Amino acid sequence: MQIHEFQAKQLLARHGVAVPEGEIAYTATEAEAIARRLQDWPLVVKSQIHAGGRGKAGGVRIVRTLDELRDAAEQLIGRTLVTEQTGPKGKVVGKIYIEKATDVARELYISFLVDRAGGTVVVAAAEGGIEIEELARRAPERLVKVHVAPGVKFRSFHARKVASALGFHGQQLRAAVAFILGLAAAFAKRDALMLEVNPWAVTRGGDLVALDAKMAFDPNALFRQREIEALRDVEQEDPREVEAGRHNLNYVKLDGDIGCMVNGAGLAMATLDTIALYGGRPANFMDVAGAASPERIAAALKLVNGDPDVRGILVNIFGGMMRCNAIAEGLVLASREIGLDKPIVVRLEGTNVDEGRAILAASGLPIVSAESLDAAAQKIVQLLDGKEAA
């Protein structure tokens, strides 16, 4: 789960991390009122969307008068901003963040990440305000990495190691250590998966400030992070993924045209791979979970069918905790409700599989049954190829 920059800065400030003073605005009138309260020009107007690269896309403006502020607010609020991270469809700017400009002498980069090898890794660089992936490709030796083992608390000596490698010394070294420890506390206590400050600025007065902040959180930990859960902005998310969450379905939109319904993440990945093996392109990852009810199966089918990119659907369910006849009942119910007019291939296996197949056969619906994943993937690809040719 992601949050906006202004929300991440508010969290960091509560852990002692310095951030520029600013406020959020939903209209140009609110933006003007904020500027009068801040009483400090120039100001920075920043579009708030769940994506990076806003500056390059024109989503960040420096303004020096109220007229410039109003123009920027009117141009940005409601605009669809397309950046390198949003994809071609972009994201709609629903709000802007107005903050005081910072007199920057030096920019750096720092992030905390969950290490796939275990534990936490801090990645930092003496160059900030750039794409860190580009720096990693161009000059990986310039990256500072400090690994913290699982179960080990991030401590002062870890922070000192990072700060020293970035060139801090003397009084500023102590300030950098305190800054990094604040980030570490926010990362750990909030169950974050990622915390990135880019750029991390050193001002001409020697202060350390987080000019930008990005945080993402483990959705499985939200039950103990209710404050973080309340920061969720569903308008920035795919509406199908939001709807899937309401039914406890695991759904991720992909760029293909074959909709998928599978129970179990491993089986779902195998299904996507098999579709690709036979020349098809999956339109989504959909895990309906092991104990899905007929109602959840019906909700999943409606969700997949509602994707305008989907031309055909493959259902691959192993009835272990759930009976195949209940799965079939859910599929028939949903197909009739939505008037399904797309090719659908169903592969059932497991408990009560014969009863499930019988329900599908007796439904009178154009549902094609398959006895194996290979056969199911081949059939849905062939059906779409035939439909396309026709």
Catalytic residues: 109, 196
Q: Which structure tokens are listed for 195? A: 């915390």
- Is 229 in contact with 190 (CB distance < 8 Å)? no
CA distance 233 to 4: 8
